[in-house]
Amino acid sequence: MEVAQYYLEDLDIGMKAEFEREVTSESVQSFAEVSGDHNPLHLDKDYAEKTMFGGRIAHGMLSAGFISTIFGTIMPGRGSIYMSQNLKFTAPVRHGDLVRAIVEVVDITHAKKRVLFNTRCFVGDTMVVDGDALIMVPSRA
């Protein structure tokens, strides 16, 4: 994937960027290995079927990671620095779901080179993650 480059001066309130990825059983397993989170709710079909979810669900942070993909590679891209992220997980993501992450510029502080984004993830029309993030964005100057 080629990394995009938006400078602070390129961004305007209301600009949006998206990234979409299917959450596979393999990606959930890989996330468990990388993160160390081996909660059976994510990995053990028999266990997960007995829970309130009725089956395996993906780690919430796996979906949230798609937001990071946008910031690091799509908008703003090269040179951006993740400063903070607030997240609320509003619905489960299941193995096989297609997750669409969307970020939108909501405020720009030029003096500090910081941009506030709304951050959301959807499966179909259902919002599964809601939040906001503060990103430091390089300037041309």
Is 3 a domain residue? no
Count of structural domains within the chain? 1
Is 122 a domain residue? yes
| Segment 54-71, tens digit of pLDDT | 999 999 999 999 999 999
* Band of residue 4 on the pLDDT scale cut at 50, 70, 90: confident
Contact indicator for 110, 99 with CB cutoff of 8 Å: no
Give residue 2's pLDDT.
78
- Collapse the DSSP code of 24 into the 3-class scheme (helix H, G, I; strand E, B; otherwise coil) and give the result: coil
Tell the residue number behind the tokens 């669900």, with chain if given.
57
The enclosing domain of 17 has a CATH number of: 3.10.129.10
- Collapse the DSSP code of 21 into the 3-class scheme (helix H, G, I; strand E, B; otherwise coil) and give the result: strand
Paired strand residues for 76: none
CA angle 59/133/35 to nearest 5° reads: 30
Give residue 137's pLDDT.
98
Is 39 a domain residue? yes
Looking at the chain, the whole-number percentage of residues with pLDDT higher than 70 is 99
Other CB atoms within 10 A of residue 35 CB: 12
* Band of residue 132 on the pLDDT scale cut at 50, 70, 90: very high
> Global pTM?
0.94
Is 99 a domain residue? yes
- Asked if residue 135 has pLDDT above 70, the reply is yes
Is 1 a domain residue? no
Is 41 a domain residue? yes
Give residue 3's pLDDT.
87
- Asked if residue 141 has pLDDT above 80, the reply is no
Is 141 a domain residue? no
Q: Is 37 exposed, middle or buried (0-12, 13-18, 19+ CB in 10 A)?
A: middle
Report which of 94, 89, 120 is spatially closest to residue 16, judged by C-alpha positions.
120
- Asked if residue 129 has pLDDT above 90, the reply is yes
Is 61 a domain residue? yes
Give residue 1's pLDDT.
66
Task: Supply 108's token pair.
Answer: 């720009």
Domain that holds residue 70: 8-136
Edge-to-edge strand list for the sheet holding 81-89: 16-22, 98-109, 114-123, 126-136, 81-89
